[in-house]
Amino acid sequence: MDYKILYNGRSNNNRGLEEAKKVEQILVGDTLEFVDVQTISSYDDYIGSLPDTSKAVLCGGDGTLNYYVNHTSEKTQQIGIDYFATGTGNDFLRDIDMEQGEIVKDVNKYFKNLPTVTINGKTSKFINGIGFGIDGYCCEEGDKQREKSEKPVNYTAIAIKGILFHFKPVNATVNIDGNTFTVNKSWLVPTMKGRFYGGGMMACPLQSRLAEDRKVSVMTYKTGSALTALIVFPNIFKGEHVKKTKVVQIYTGNHVKVSFDRPCALQIDGETVTGVTEYEVTT
């Protein structure tokens, strides 16, 4: 088989090609051509022009997948394309219970009926989740660190310092399927299509990305104590934070609107949007 290995050279701290080369250990004996996605002006044109003897393998992280689903037509997404994770977080791969180093066959089947998020009048699809609060703050600070250094970003350290010193909780108004309530002293109010985001945080353990009702999950994380927020936070990585019901609540629905009482950074599948006061999700 002739494979077109579409890699994002900027993924994984600019190690995208190096990581994509690992696919050679799997596709032994096949013909491989490595193509930087930055040179592809149109996924629709490129993938649509491939002969039947060729198949594309998309290599990158969650941000690469997000870009792909937002820049391809439904027609193109009917064409079989495989996926090889080369990102830093790889929450999509984790959510579908696959390991790094494995090829996801026909990844397009996971991109049907994706929810959309609208921020400042711009609407886009998302794969894993929308983070609003300390998670958005962490992405914003991580971006700043990458501009100054090529060293890997330590998001755990950013989160700890943020909770203790820099990020202050906000008052949120949440509307889910027409039901509105307030969540004061909020640290996190993400809306999730999958279970994971933020590089392994299991925000909503019961969320199913393939659920027929297409519902998303909303987590509220509130406390007036920075120490309590810090103590509960590590439990998110195992999904055990949901046991702390005084701090954490999970809701589900098909239409979600979250507003904060001050602008904060927000992240969509790991990509940062700054100065946001509200977002709206529709499934």
b/e code 184-213 from CB counts within 10 Å (16+ = b): eebbbbbbbbbbbbbbebbbbbebebeeee
**Assigned CATH class of 2-111:** alpha beta
Residue 153: pLDDT band by 50, 70, 90 thresholds? confident
- Is residue 106 pLDDT above 90, yes or no? yes
Read off φ and ψ for residue 106, nearest 5 degrees: 50, 60
Give the whole-angstrom CA distance, residue 104 versus residue 266: 28
Are the CB atoms for 136 and 143 separated by under 8 Å?
no
Q: Look at the domain 116-282 and name its fold.
A: Tumour Suppressor Smad4 (2.60.200)
Token pair of 173 as six digits: 């108004």
Tell me: the pLDDT tens digits for 74-104? 899 888 899 999 988 899 999 999 999 999 9
Domain boundaries, the chain: 2-111, 116-282
- Is residue 150 pLDDT above 80, yes or no? no
CA dihedral 61, 62, 67, 72 (to 10 degrees): 100
Q: What is the pLDDT of residue 159?
A: 87
Give the whole-angstrom CA distance, residue 109 versus residue 105: 9
- Is residue 64 pLDDT above 90, yes or no? yes
Average pLDDT score over the chain: 94
Q: How far is CA 264 from CA 62, 149, 167, 172, 236, in A?
A: 22, 24, 10, 11, 21
- Is residue 166 pLDDT above 90, yes or no? yes
Q: What is the pTM of this model?
A: 0.93
- Is residue 227 pLDDT above 80, yes or no? yes
**How crowded is residue 116: how many other Cβ atoms within 10 Å of its Cβ?**
13
Domains 2-111 and 116-282 in one fold: no
Give the whole-angstrom CA distance, residue 204 versus residue 282: 18
